[in-house]
Amino acid sequence: MSDRIRRLASVTGVEDVQRTRAAYDGVAELYAEISAGVMAAQPLDRAMFGVFAELAQGRGTVADIGCGPGRVTIHLDGLGLDVFGLDLSPEMIRLARAAHPNLRFEIGSMERLDLPDASLGAILAWYSMIHTPPERVPGIVAEFGRVLTDGAPLLLGFQAADDEFHDIQPYDHKVAPVYRWSLRRMAEVLAGGGFETVAQLRRAPDPDGRCPHGCLLARKSATPAG
């Protein structure tokens, strides 16, 4: 068994990960159809992607982690980034490869990235950790820090808590349970993993949604010498 398969198997054995992967495999085509026009309807998201792309320019390879059918991956490619997509769902990756054959898409887990240390110039994780139990999120942040170079940008998107007095709020979702984070608490987790938050955005719920949205742009702090 290859090291890559061992890494993925060690994570996909976790019951909630298996459920989430199976659920997204089952709704992949519907998800791709519904999400196709989302980018055009979200100017604030596009603005954050633009700032992220400016910070990532010239830093090397960028990973869109939890890329789904690749709608944000292709947007980042259009902004001039050397980007590839990674997702736990084989069906999402199949759709992404079919829709964007000029880009690279891989099956993998953000909890065990099959990448060398300090090999990425930036990471986007757009609503990628929303189903992850909160106690495992610091481990994912640490894994992001492992594969990023010093100073590299990290952009996170997630459903936000109703207000900053709630650290984390569980939320029923059609696919799998979602954990809504306050921007303050997520920034604290990032700081604990060696990231400095440089910008944050909180926007109102979508017209057909119930939850506000949060976005944090951070930078990996320099690794202490010695």
Contact 46, 39 (CB under 8 A): yes
Contact 28, 89 (CB under 8 A): yes
pLDDT of residue 166: 59
Task: Count the alpha carbons within 13 Å of 144 in the hemisphere toward its beta carbon.
Answer: 34
- Predicted TM-score (pTM) of the model is 0.86
pLDDT of residue 171: 54
pLDDT of residue 2: 40
Measure the CA–CA gap between 181 and 163, rounded to whole angstroms.
9
* Regions of the chain short of the pLDDT cut 70: 1-13, 25-28, 31-32, 164-167, 170-176, 223-226
Measure the CA–CA gap between 203 and 201, rounded to whole angstroms.
6
Residues 70-128 have pLDDT tens digits of: 999 999 999 999 999 999 999 899 999 999 999 999 999 999 999 999 999 999 999 99
pLDDT of residue 223: 66
Contact 121, 59 (CB under 8 A): yes
pLDDT of residue 162: 79
- Going along the chain from its start, the domains and CATH numbers come out as 11-220 (3.40.50.150)
In DSSP terms, 171 is beta-bridged to: 178
Residue 125's nearest CA partner among 154, 147, 98 is: 154
The full DSSP string for 100-140 is -TTSEEEE-BTTB--S-TT-BSEEEEES-STTS-GGGHHHH
